[in-house]
């Protein structure tokens, strides 16, 4: 009954909140949704909508998402120092605001994503900010022939492994990333290790495919173990209450 009432509220009064309305339209785990969470500016229809939005975006897990972003930027900046002018490929960048936080013209950054809306928003932002070093392209992380990049020095998976439900999907991405890199490459990733109420997600919200939001938390060490057969070893690992951010280096 608690989850049923929560879903009803999210579908009715909740739609006064811009963040909740966006979640229903694009999926609560979409790249466009994450961009809204990163901004952390409550908006809505009527003062009630703004209040609901403030409550929504201040949830502890969303705080963890923003903390994850800061850790990610720090590790990406550190990773860039190992190369002269690397090719950086993000498997599922969404709008990729963390990429814009990186120093300009230190790398060629290719931001791939499967969602046309995210690609369009990211490309518009790159043009507006004059970031010719960042390009957004349609990309399918699971299909080698549909990757937007075929040779990279640095790979990025931010919020991507976190939302994959099936182990074989992660294994496929690890294989595809390994096939477009050489020894000395690095892979900066995030992964969700904990959530306080998985049933809340499943019974009250939808994912980017407009299905029940299924989430499978995994320890970062498990991802590192899966990457070992391809020659990757864990170089750095940082955590907050819900997420881990790590860097793999290929031997």
DSSP per-residue codes, 125-158: HHHHHT-TTEEEEE--TT-GGG-S-SS-SEEEES
Which residue did the predictor score with more confidence, 94 or 249?
249
Band (134; pLDDT cuts 50, 70, 90): very high
Look at residues 180, 187, 170 and name the one whose alpha carbon lies nearest to residue 235.
Answer: 187
Distance CA 169, CA 235 (A): 23
Write out the DSSP string of 57-116: HTSHHHHHHHHHHHHHHHHHHHHHTT-SS-EEEETT-TT-HHHHTSPTTSSEEEEEES-H
Q: What is the mean pLDDT of the segment spanning 43-56?
A: 97
Name the residue among 192, 231, 104, 89 with its Cα closest to residue 147.
Answer: 89
Nearest C-alpha neighbor of 58 from the set 42, 43, 34: 42
Per the listing, tokens 């892979």 go with 187
pTM of the model: 0.93
pLDDT, tens digit, 9 for 90 and up, residues 73-103:
999 999 999 999 999 999 999 999 999 999 9
Q: Which of 114, 212, 119, 225 is nearest to 170 (CA)?
A: 225
Residue with tokens 């959530």: 195
pLDDT of residue 1: 87
Percent of the chain having pLDDT more than 90? 97
pLDDT tens digit sequence for 182-198 = 999 999 999 999 999 99
Separation between Cα atoms, residue 17 and residue 50, nearest integer Å = 6
| Segment 213-234, tens digit of pLDDT | 999 999 999 999 999 999 999 9
Mean of per-residue pLDDT scores for the chain: 96
**What average pLDDT does the segment 59-77 reach?**
97
Mean pLDDT over 235-247 rounds to 98
Structural domains for the chain: 2-57 (no CATH), 60-250 (3.40.50.150)
């Amino acid at each position: 009954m608690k989850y049923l009432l929560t879903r009803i509220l999210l579908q009715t009064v909740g739609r006064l909140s811009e963040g909740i309305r966006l979640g229903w339209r694009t999926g609560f785990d979409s790249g466009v949704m994450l961009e809204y969470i990163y901004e952390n500016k409550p908006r809505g229809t009527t003062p009630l909508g703004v209040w609901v939005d403030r409550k929504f975006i201040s949830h502890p897990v969303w705080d963890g998402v923003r903390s994850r972003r800061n850790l990610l930027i720090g590790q990406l900046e550190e990773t860039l120092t190992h190369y002269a002018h690397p090719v950086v490929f993000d498997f599922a960048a969404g709008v990729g605001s963390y990429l814009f936080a990186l120093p300009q013209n230190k790398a060629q950054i290719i931001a791939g994503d499967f969602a046309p809306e995210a690609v369009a928003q990211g490309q518009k932002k790159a043009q507006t900010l004059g970031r010719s070093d960042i390009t957004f392209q349609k990309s399918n992380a699971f299909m080698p022939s549909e990757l937007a990049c075929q040779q990279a020095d640095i790979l990025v998976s931010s919020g991507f492994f976190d939302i994959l439900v099936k182990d074989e999907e992660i294994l496929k991405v690890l294989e595809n990333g390994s096939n477009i890199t050489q020894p000395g490459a690095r892979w900066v990733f995030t992964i969700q290790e904990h959530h306080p109420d998985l049933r809340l997600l499943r019974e009250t919200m939808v994912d980017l495919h407009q299905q029940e939001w299924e989430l499978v938390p995994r320890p970062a060490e498990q991802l590192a173990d899966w990457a070992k057969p391809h020659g990757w070893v864990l170089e750095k690992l940082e955590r907050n209450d819900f997420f881990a951010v790590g860097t793999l280096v290929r031997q």
